[in-house]
A and B are shown apart, each in its own frame.
Chain A
Amino acid sequence: MTLAVLNIEWQTLADATALGAVYALMAVGIGLVFGVLRLVNFAYGQLVMAGAYALALASQWEWPVWAGIVLCFAVVLALSLLMDRLVFRPLRGQSPAVMLVATFAVAFLLQSIALLAFGPLGKIATSLASLNRPVTVGGVDIRKITIVAIVVAALCLLALVLLLERTTVGLHMRAASMDFATARLLGVRANRVIGAAVLVSGALAAVVAIMLTVQNPLVTPDFALRDTIVVLAGVVVGGLNRPIPATLGGFAIGFASGILGGALPTEKSQYLPSFLFAAVILVLLVRPGGLFTRYRGAVERV
């Protein structure tokens, strides 16, 4: 194992970083909504899936690339707002378990709607395929999308930090995620701050949809389902309560998954999910409050 780790090629490292970057964006999307609503959005992957179908349809209709991206954002943002209005809002104040099961139901609902509308075979999103071509950097072939994904993720995270730290609505979001009741008493408008979090989270889902369709142009109803499960595990491992640990958790699990995929010998690589999720269980046992958070007592005081 140690030998394998030392033998990692640059290409694997770059791909793992790119996967980590995309997962970090998903983690932020899930973490933001959790911050204000205390709700783990299992249906986040289906937002990405909807965006991917928008891109695939746009390329099928031979729209220009920018129009496809606009359509993707429009579809995902509309769907996020709809989800908030129809599902999250009526469920506000329910126990976390009820909300988690509800988003689980929404996830399956959206997935089966996609199955009904587009069939099981999938559609191909080709408009951005040119990003899959490799460029040579210092004698190493790296796909353009790898670089694009890392840069875009870094920019998105920077913009997000600026939004949270430098704007009023960001301040409200941070206040709401610390203590919603007190924040409301001090004049934070609940629907506005939740709406903002849902919108930002939706925009990130659209970005993720674009990145993922370039890497994997075949869009099926279970597109991004596996990624969501992995990211959710990563977010909880990192620490769901704070945006930065959640993001780091998402990045870490994406990176680990990429490195493991490259480092495991071929006959073992089919067991990659087992290794990954066994690691998740181990970390949860050692640090139930999150890997990147300061440890507080595992038991909540009354």
Chain B
Amino acid sequence: MRRETALELAGPAALVVAAALLGALVSRSTEGYFTDALVKVAIVVALYVFIGNSGVLSFGHISFVAIGAWTAGVLSVPASEKPAIMPNLAGFLRDRAVGNLSSLALAALAGGVCALVVALPLMRLSGLAAGIATFAVLEITHNLLRYYEKVGPGLNTFSSVPETTGLRQAALGALAVVAAAFAYGRSRFGRLLRATREDPAAARAVGVSVYRQRLIAFALSGALAGLAGGLYVHLLPISTEGVYLDLTFITLAMLVIGGTTSLWGAVVGALAVSALDSTLAEAENGLTVFGATLDLPAGTRVVVVGALMALVLILRPSGLTGGREFRLPRVSADAA
């Protein structure tokens, strides 16, 4: 592997590790923000695998996060506690429970299979029709998970899921997703998909099937989103509202602010927006900076993130990283 290529993986991975180490140094209450940020990295990188490489917008990926969360959640609640929390659960889900790692693997599998099934018809669409259709997928998933109590807690929050996603699991999960995204991006499939993004007509002319390449990326990114959903449900008790429009907005914001077309952008965006968001969340509870107390009214954070996202789109439509991969600053000008 060439040095530049290795750096494209090393840069984002180092940033994830740095965030995890920083999280280990801070106090117990602040650590939660870092864990949450690392799970967001996993979600945003999963989004990047499809949106970044294909250039097609998807509002529906949070569906697969939700499906992953529901799979991992339902399967890992101890069998003895299931009747109390989810009284209407279907029989085959009621009697068994699996461990942490298997629940994550099954979450990824469920996300991937659902994404594949959804993509088979949907990837025939492009442009606005595709955007609206993925939105429809999100609406349907949200509606079904909310009311279909045979597969989960319905309107209630997912309590009693073992909280195994600490800093370490979140960091390892994020690293796994980053590595998968990198491997895909370097593979033949990733290159072909990016070719269709740059010029669909030219790609078709040399025999690339736009449909098949998008299908592969969508299924892979669905699997990664499912894994991220599994990490998420093990982090905190979520409800259907937690994996719906707000999460769609914030993760898309992260991807766009970082730079849609690069893995580096996805990781930078997720961590930068998380840092800002958590700081503002602290400030809403009253934050003391250099002796001065900053006390913002509740709700300020969404205003700031929304304004920031609009600003970045207007001033720098290709994002903070310009959509480029990680590079070390050059010492000598193009000597090699």
Interface residues of A (CB under 8 A from B): 40, 87, 90-91, 94, 96-98, 100-102, 104-106, 108-109, 111-113, 115-116, 225, 229, 232-233, 236-237, 240, 270-271, 273-274, 277-278, 280-281, 284-285, 288, 298, 302
Contact = CB atoms under 8 A, between A and B. Distances in A.
A236 B132 contact: yes
Given A40-B128, A109-B303, A233 B310 contact: no
**Chain B contact surface mostly:** helix
B299 A112 contact: yes
Contact of B252 (A87, A101, A285): A101
A302 B132 contact: no
A271 B299 CA distance: 31
Judged by DSSP, the binding face of A is: helix
B302 A91 contact: no
Interface of B: 55-57, 121-122, 124-129, 131-133, 135-137, 139-140, 142-144, 146-147, 201, 245, 249, 252-253, 256, 297-300, 302-303, 306-307, 309-310, 313-314, 317
Contact of B313 (A98, A116, A237, A274): A98
Contacts of A101: 57, 252, 256, 309, 313
B125 A112 contact: no
A94 B317 contact: yes
Contacts of A102: 309-310, 313-314
Given A90-B314, A97-B55, A98-B313, A280 B252 contact: no
Contact of B136 (A106, A109, A225, A280): A280
Contacts of A94: 313, 317
A87 B310 contact: yes
Contacts of B136: 233, 277-278, 280-281, 284
B125 A284 contact: yes
B53 to A, nearest CB: 14
B133 A116 contact: no
A233 B132 contact: yes
B143 A273 contact: yes
A302 B199 CA distance: 10
A274 B314 contact: no
A230 B324 CA distance: 36
A115 B300 CA distance: 9
A281 B298 CA distance: 38
B252 A109 contact: no
A277 B245 CA distance: 16
A116 B47 CA distance: 30
B265 to A, nearest CB: 14
Contact of B125 (A90, A116, A233, A285): A285
A274 B142 CA distance: 9
B134 to A, nearest CB: 9
Contact of A108 (B132, B302, B317): B302
Contact of A229 (B135, B249, B306, B313): B135
The 3 closest A-B pairs by CB, nearest first: A109-B306, A112-B302, A277-B136
A100 B125 CA distance: 17
25 contacts: A87-B310, A90-B314, A97-B56, A104-B249, A105-B309, A105-B310, A106-B310, A111-B302, A112-B302, A115-B299, A115-B302, A116-B297, A116-B298, A116-B303, A225-B245, A233-B136, A240-B128, A271-B144, A273-B142, A273-B143, A277-B143, A278-B140, A281-B133, A281-B136, A285-B124
